[in-house]
Amino acid sequence: MARILVVDDSAVMRRNIVHTVTHAGHEIVAQASDGGQAYNLYKIHSPDLVTMDINMPEVNGIEAVKRIITDFPKAKIIMVSALDQKHMVLEALKCGAKHYIIKPINPENLVAVINKILGVALQPKVLTNAQLPQKPAAAEAPVEEEPESPFIVKNLNSTFCIRITKLLSLDNVGSLLQAVQGLLYVQPLKVSIDFGRVETLPEELLNKIAEITNLIIKANGKLTVASQNEEFVHWVKEKHISGLSELFIG
């Protein structure tokens, strides 16, 4: 069990992080709503790890990282950022932060990153046959709901998994680019892009996605691209979109 300091100016965000972290078996030693409080509380409690928001009043997350790392070089700090804060995230990492989490926070991702930074080895849960999920009959197979966002990014087993949905468009593909640019500094970089059951996307949009895949490859990233729709894969390959068509697997 680790002792953790949670820093965020949003009471709702702090409550969510506290719930996730305590449920994972760690202890919350204190909470702060700005970087100045974070520094003072760090001196008092000497936590094992800090989750640090970037945009906060008075003293922001980057300044707090600088102050803490200056006096406590071995401090372990994880930044909590929005998609449009990649430059601030990189600055925080240069100042000594260990990792970052993108909002909205995925609880499993948060716990995985915390345990990774702390070097905690998780014990796998062993299920009995009675506890194992039973395969539903074909007629009762659940229908997967389409996410209500253009894309979803998750960190699963050190691979950034990007799920593309039918809501991705030329108007919001810039957000996908920003998200990927925030990952390019990670080494080794592993990325998987999954189009799920998407049936079609404009050719211009696919070219934009291909530009993003090329950025990952140029950063020496290991990239895989997949789709559950064979007709979509066939259509994309027919278009010969360089940087995308040749990457599909399966």
Whether pTM > 0.75 for this model: the answer is no
Residue 135 lies in a domain: no
pLDDT tens-digit map of 198-249: 988 999 999 999 999 999 999 899 999 999 998 888 888 888 888 888 888 7
Q: Residue 29 class from Cβ within 10 Å (0-12 exposed, 13-18 middle, 19+ buried)?
A: middle
Which positions of the chain have pLDDT values less than 50? 122-144, 146
Output the pLDDT for position 130: 45
Output the pLDDT for position 79: 93
How many domains does the structure of the chain reveal? 2
Specify whether 112 is located in the same domain as 150.
no
Output the pLDDT for position 250: 53
**Residue with structure tokens 């928001």?**
53
Specify whether 111 is located in the same domain as 151.
no
Specify whether 158 is located in the same domain as 204.
yes
Three-state secondary structure string covering 125-185: CCCCCCCCCCCCCHHHCCCCCCCCCCEEEEEECCEEEEEECCCCCCCCHHHHHHHHHCCCC
Of 65, 88, 85, the closest CA to residue 5 belongs to 65
Supply the CATH number for residue 192's domain: 3.30.750.24
Specify whether 226 is located in the same domain as 169.
yes
Output the pLDDT for position 129: 43
Output the pLDDT for position 101: 87
- The domain of 167 spans 146-247
Residue 233 lies in a domain: yes
Tell me the residue type at 103. Answer: K
